[in-house]
Amino acid sequence: MRKISANLFISLDGVVQDPADWHLPYFDDEMGAAVTAQMADTLLLGRKTYDSFAGAWPEREEAGGEDADFARTIGDARKIVVSRQPLEFTWRNSELLRGDLVKAVTALKSEPGGPIAMSGSVSVVRRLLAAGVLDELHLLVHPIAVRKGERLFDEGQEAIPLELVSSETFTTGVLHLVYRPAGAVGEGSYDDAGTHLPQDVR
């Protein structure tokens, strides 16, 4: 079974919208290494994220600048786009995900191949996480409260328990946190919590 991971830039107050407006001052070698480490030969992208990538990376590849190799890597990857509407693709190796999202992604994970990566695509991440299809959630938490914009987690009916897999602190103060779905959270009470408080505090 192929593993699918989502990589998101997120502010301290949970904002994930328009990260280019606030995260670039924190982008350094450590973050660059974390981002490139999550690259895979298959990318799953929401339409808005795909449009943003397709509007930038092919030109950067052609320009031959410092990020041309990374742009070429993205261009060579298989890019599967989630959209309710038919799309015409001009960027190589791009295709439309067909059918129900959860069923189609579950089938994709069953195909031969390596890991599947996601970048941005918040609405898709939410749906896959709620359905238990997403295997890992990589959050690059920036030490800034943006105070406006769409947040990663919206209102919902049920909680989504997560287990912390790893954590790393960059010199900029950015936290790289990796989570995976966890089992159901057990019950607890104030009395239970009280047993963990120091008993000799005066």
58-62's contacts with Cβ under 8 Å and 24+ in sequence apart are: 58/91
- Per-residue confidence (pLDDT) for residue 33, from 0 to 100: 96
Distance (Å, whole) CA 154 – CA 127:
11
Residue 76: φ, ψ to 5°:
-75, -20
- Give Cα separations from 23 to 42, 90, 111, 187 (angstroms): 25, 29, 35, 38
The radius of gyration of the chain from alpha carbons, rounded to an integer in Å, stands at 19
Environment class of 72 (CB within 10 Å of its CB; exposed 0-12, middle 13-18, buried 19+) = middle
The answer as to CATH 3.40.430.10 being correct for domain 4-194 is yes
- Per-residue confidence (pLDDT) for residue 86, from 0 to 100: 85
- Between strands 162-169 and 42-46, the pairing is unpaired
Q: How many helices (H) and strands (E) does the chain have?
A: 7, 8
pTM listed for this prediction: 0.92
Domain ranges of the chain: 4-194
Distance (Å, whole) CA 150 – CA 4:
23
**Would you state the structure tokens that stand for residue 108, as one six-digit string?**
């994709």
- Per-residue confidence (pLDDT) for residue 201, from 0 to 100: 62
The string over 10-27, giving b where at least 16 C-beta atoms fall within 10 Å of a residue's C-beta and e elsewhere, is bbeeebbbebeebbeebb
What is the identity of the amino acid at 117? A
Distance (Å, whole) CA 108 – CA 88:
21
- pLDDT (tens digit, 0 to 9) for every residue of the chain, 202 residues total? 999 999 999 999 999 999 999 999 999 999 999 999 999 999 999 999 999 999 999 999 999 999 999 999 999 999 999 998 888 899 999 999 999 999 999 999 999 999 999 999 999 999 999 999 999 999 999 999 999 999 999 887 788 999 999 999 999 999 999 999 997 777 778 888 888 888 776 5
